[in-house]
Amino acid sequence: MKQSQRTPAAWVAAIPLILLTLLFYLVIRCFGGDAIYGGSQIALLSASSLAAMIAVVGYRVPWSRLEESIIEHIRSSTSAILILLLIGAISGTWMVSGVVPTLIYYGLEILHPSYFLVATALICGGVSLMTGSSWTTIATIGVALMGVGNAMGLPEGWVAGAIISGAYFGDKLSLLSDTTVLASSTVGVPIFTHIRYMLYTTIPSMVVALIVFAIAGLTLPHASDAASDLYASTLAEVFHLSPWLLVVPILTGVLIARKLPALITLFAAVLFACVAMLVAQQPLINEVAGVTQGDFLSTFKGILITCYGSTAIETGNAQLNDLVSTGGMGGMMNTVWLILCAMVFGGIMTGSGMLRALTDIFLRWVRRTVASVASTVGAGIFFNLCSADQYISIILTGRLFKELYEERGLEPRLLSRAVEDSATVTSVLIPWNSCGMTQATVLGVATFIYLPYCIFNLVSPLMSILVAAIGWHIKRKR
């Protein structure tokens, strides 16, 4: 009985994590950007098997406990998986309907490569602030801006980094954001107090990001104006472009502003695009369906293919072909598979007590204010690595440090801010985290490629520690 109640030692709990890191390194060395097609899943399941073996054999943890934890983790990811599938449908329908090509066309006409990265971060930040969703922002306006950046010849890592930086900036400060609500409620801080207190770290972090993007925009190579004009003219020849197609993203924005659930909003966005496709792009529907003369059934077939399957529109330009090709819902299945495997690993690490054993290490460093914040930031990043889900990371970090902050006389709003500065913004930087997997798939850029350029996400944890070290607007309770 005593043996069945033992908690794994920290060094034992670290073994599956070390194995996972080693396997990911080998998988990425072997497969590169194709690691998501199976290698990463095998790595996660292998580490999960080792963790389960250690728990069951070495510490007599009942398998039923591990199974319940796995089921709970998978249940928590169900909404994300459904959203991901609908995002796949949006990528196909918004492209073939001409919505994204229209946005790219006008983007090439209005935006200049020199300030494109700054404009991208600001646009995504504004949209995300209004919608409260970094995922929705990246899946809609982010995809269009990614296309504009590619057409301008800008490095895809920089473009994706600007999109993600802006999207997570707005998400973090939005009253409508689920992560903002979750972080404040977990710690017990009024949401307006939480948002106001985050300004002291979030605004400086975004300013740093904008400065970096401004410098990069002036120094990075980009395509000539002639190449951009060629892309724009080719898009106009292949697609029927019209300002009326912008009604689709406008209507989608209206639904978001009305605070409808994400699943309803995204499904409506697919329907809007299908209607626009019928009105404006009948020849392309026939091309997708594989017919020359369309009828009702072939039109129906073409629309369904744009939702669930891969589409390849022939433009006569190889680079532009890649730009307008989509994978639909089917293109998201590798990411769905990866999320499920990541939830298995997180479930076993949590249910076996290994995650708790590892997090106790952080508690040893909680002495002074800056150490408390640094430990919180480290825990948030660590939970993102181990649990593979930002929501779990937010909850675990907040609960772990809540009593300790009270004992040290530190304000709870300092904890909620540190949680957001770490768990929320770094989730997208981890390839096997649900956020990292999703955004890499949506933008078509591997996590390790865009990671160095997500300036806001990289600076935020450091800014949280720096502000704590300076003591700016940090008070102790009496």
Structure-token pair, residue 385 = 């690595």
* pLDDT at residue number 367: 66
DSSP letter for each residue of 407-446: HTTB-HHHHHHHHIIIIIHHGGGSTTSHHHHHHHHHHT--
pLDDT along the chain (478 residues), means of 10: 62 87 80 73 89 90 91 80 81 84 78 87 82 76 83 90 94 78 80 88 95 92 68 81 87 78 84 91 86 83 89 76 78 79 84 81 71 87 79 77 78 90 91 83 88 95 92 70
Of 239, 271, 237, the closest CA to residue 252 belongs to 271
Tokens 């996590």, residue located:
447
Q: What is the rounded CA–CA span in Å between residue 422 and residue 388?
A: 14
Q: Is 152 helix (H, G, I), strand (E, B) or coil?
A: coil
The confidence score (pLDDT) of residue 73 equals: 80
Task: Measure the CA–CA gap between 124 and 164, rounded to whole angstroms.
Answer: 8
Distance from C-alpha of 65 to C-alpha of 62, rounded to nearest angstrom: 5
Give the closest residue to 336 by CA, choosing from 82, 31, 34. Answer: 82
Domain ranges across the chain: 77-478
Give the model's pLDDT for residue 3. Answer: 43
CA separation for the pair 219, 211 (Å, rounded): 13
How many other β-carbons are positioned within 10 Å of the β-carbon of residue 290? 10
Q: Do 96 and 284 form a contact (C-beta atoms < 8 A)?
A: yes
Q: What is the three-state SS of 362-385?
A: HHCCCCCHHHHHHHHHHHHHHHHH
- pTM (whole model) above 0.85: no
Cβ neighbors of 81 (< 8 A, separation 6 or more) are 336, 339, 340
Give me the amino acid identity at 434.
Answer: S
